[in-house]
Amino acid sequence: MSKIEPSWDLYRTFLAVLTENSLSGAARALGLTQPTVARHIDALEATIGYDLFLRSQRGLAPTDAALALKPYTETLASTSAALLRAASGHGTAVRGTVRISASEVVGVEVLPAILTDLRARYPELVIELVLSNSLDDLLRREADIAVRMVEPVHEALVARPVGSITLGLHAHTRYLDQRGIPLTLNDLGPHDLIGFARETPAIRSMLQRVSGFEHSNFALRADSDLAQLAAIRAGFGIGVCQVPLAARNPELARVLAEEFRLDLKTWIVMHEDLRSSPRCRVTFDALVDGLTKYTGAAQPLP
């Protein structure tokens, strides 16, 4: 391996090729020419002393060495993005970019109103919203602030509880008028149920607390919570929906409220190093206030 440290541009290009699976795709993603991308890969391979991709008529295939480097280049990319966000908000004014991570439903259905009010108060604030049901790693700065349904345990993270988001079974009133209202969990059998396609450990843990709502009985399966919500709203059948969200729509009715209830404790989380950042502080406080109102919980103590 050469003693000359490769420039970040080479690593950025390498990660783009890994992500796009081709030189041409990486070139489009980065706004470069394909020959430039090829030169970057050649330069990085020459510097580190081994091949990163196997070339063939079918394209590029990453070597084991490339896959070993991937998490480190992803960390570099996250750190670079975090550095730019921090630089954009330098000073005492509330300005610059804040990156927020939230689940699909919370990000689409709950946060827009909160962020609209926040932006009205701080017009120099720019918001990046990441919709993901996975846990973005705040320690690696993949996001500045996260809305999480799992309590963070790392000491470097600042977390504020905002209550619990209750999940319940819901259906469109049109569907219930046609198919009837189930009175017990056993009555769900003849109904069109909406649920998940792939059972994750989190879903398995939640479903251990209830019965009758099982994968084998689902008439529509989707791993996207937004797709499930859209199906409920369309009148396809009975599915799981956040209770405060369904309460906004008079055409959605909750069924089996006593038999089926899941409470997801929710936290707003950020890295402790961002406490002094004006852009992150006001955003964190706005999310705490807005989501506390959404869950119906008492205002948490400072």
Alpha carbon 234 to its chain centroid, in Å, reads: 24
First vs last C-alpha separation in the chain = 52
Interatomic CA distance for residues 27 and 16, integer angstroms: 8
CA distance 281 to 283: 5
Give domain 164-263's CATH architecture.
3-Layer(aba) Sandwich (3.40)
Spatial neighbors of 197 by CB under 8 A, at least 6 apart, are: 221, 222, 223
Q: Give CATH for domain 86-162+268-295.
A: 3.40.190.10
14: which 2 tokens?
């390498």
Pair of tokens at residue 141 = 């700065």
What angle is formed at CA 128 by the lines to CA 8 and CA 68, rounded to 5 degrees?
Answer: 35
Q: Residue 20: CB partners within 8 Å, gap ≥ 6?
A: 26, 28, 29
Query: Which of 43-57, 83-97, 138-152, 182-196 is the least confident region?
Result: 83-97
Half-sphere exposure of 170 (CA within 13 A, CB side): 26
Pairing of strands 145-148, 125-131: unpaired
**What would the DSSP string read from start to end of 126-148?**
EEEEEE-SS---GGGTS-SEEEE
Q: Cβ(130)–Cβ(102) under 8 Å?
A: yes
Q: Where exactly are the structural domains of the chain?
A: 8-80, 86-162+268-295, 164-263
Tell me if 8-80 shares its fold with 86-162+268-295.
no
Q: How many residues comprise the chain?
A: 302
For residue 39, report the phi and psi dihedrals to the nearest 5 degrees.
-65, -40
* Structure token digits, residue 71: 């998490």
- The average confidence (pLDDT) of the chain is 86
Hey, what CATH topology would domain 8-80 get? Arc Repressor Mutant, subunit A (1.10.10)
The 10s digit of each residue's pLDDT in 210-259 is 666 777 789 999 999 999 999 999 999 999 999 999 999 999 999 999 99
pLDDT tens digits, residue range 249-293?
999 999 999 999 999 999 999 988 888 889 999 999 999 999 999
Burial class of residue 57, CB neighbours in 10 A (0-12, 13-18, 19+): exposed
What global pTM score does this model have? 0.70
How does pLDDT run across 43-67, given as a tens digit for each residue? 888 888 888 888 776 778 889 888 8
